[in-house]
Amino acid sequence: MNGEVYQMSDLIARDVLDAFHEKPAILAVIGCPVGHSASPAMHQPALDACGISGRYIKLEVPVGRVMEALQHLNELGFVGANVTVPHKFAALDACHQVDEAARQIGAVNTIRFVDGEIHGWNTDGPGFARAIEEEFQTSLAGLRVMIVGAGGGAGQAIATQCAIDGAQRVILVNRTVEKIDTLVQVLGRRFPATQFHSIALNDPQLCGVAKQCQLMVNTSSLGLRPDDPSPLSATCFARHQWVYDTIYKPPLTSFLRDAIKQGAEVANGFSMLLHQGVLAYNIWYPKQAPLEIMRSGLRSVS
């Protein structure tokens, strides 16, 4: 299920793509690298449970060839695709139509082929909002949120989603603060109802500002290796906070461990990965995503 990785050269014809398989490939995750993707473990059981005869495959696409890959998939009659790192920004440019959230986030992670056209969505931001609802029983509306490591794609998607959903204040934190200044300005102009601020990770005022936030989110890549330290000092956390790490492997990062020690309620990125997938599936097959089947599929590989 979580098996082979296809290459661009496999897209030349159906015979090649579907050789030795009973079911045709109809959905793909496009990335580089893509071998580690957990998406097939969620989507293949969902297709099977819905009685849809098709395969969800992993497709490695080199940087600069996303549009070409999507055009091939379209011609081969695919239903759609997921797009992952590093192609989410280029995928937006390849689309004939893009939904409002994806345009505001500036990146596309879900594609559906509609009457020969490439249509794009972004389910990362909405998936995060659903994850927060499921984990902490709260919406983002009115919240004071701190996003740590906001210089990457996940930080941008989550910051934008917080504004779309009416957060009161969003503090973006980064090691290299210059990298987020433009994002803060752009979001501040676009969403005047939400206050945006940037602050450097080594700013002595950081912990004071953090303690005024209700929701703390790690979107940095620090924590992916089991021996990684937390990007934040443990004293930045407080008992009243909800603390979410977008990393799900390992399940308990130093960021979450420190938060637990301070008495905060914590959750990891498993729920965001699940819900962005559920939303993507519902774009391909409206209202059909089997949530619990997708949850257990994902659990089997994470």
- Interaction between residue 176 and ligand ATR (CB under 6 A): yes
CB of 148 to ligand ATR, least distance (A): 8
Question: Which x/- pattern, by CB under 6 A, does the window 200-239 give for ligand ATR?
Answer: -x------------------xxx--------x--------
Residue of the chain from 49, 85, 264, 293 that contacts ligand ATR (CB under 6 A): 85
Question: Which x/- pattern, by CB under 6 A, does the window 90-119 give for ligand ATR?
Answer: ------------------------------
> In the bound complex, which residue of the shown chain has the CB atom lying closest to ligand ATR?
152
* Helical spans, DSSP H, in 57-111: 66-75, 88-94, 100-105
Q: Is 211 marked active-site?
A: no
Residue of the chain from 103, 175, 211, 257 that contacts ligand ATR (CB under 6 A): 175
CB 106 within 8 A of CB 164: no
Catalytic residue among 88, 179, 211, 287: 88
CB of 299 to ligand ATR, least distance (A): 24
Tally of residues, the chain: 302
Residue of the chain from 31, 149, 269, 277 that contacts ligand ATR (CB under 6 A): 149
Residue of the chain from 154, 159, 167, 184 that contacts ligand ATR (CB under 6 A): 154
CB 101 within 8 A of CB 276: no
Torsion of CA 179, 183, 186, 188, to 10 degrees: -120
Give the other-Cβ count within 10 Å of 60's Cβ: 17
Residues 196-233: b if buried by 16+ CB within 10 A, e if exposed? bebbebeeeebeebbbebbbbbbbbebbeeeebebbbe
Q: Closer to ligand ATR by CB, 177 or 213: give it.
A: 177
In the three-class reduction of DSSP (H, G, I as helix; E, B as strand; rest coil), residue 142 is classed as: coil
Residues 274-294: b if buried by 16+ CB within 10 A, e if exposed? bbbbbbbbebbbeeebbeeeb
By CB under 6 A, name the binding residues for ligand ATR. Answer: 85, 149-155, 174-176, 179, 201, 220-222, 231
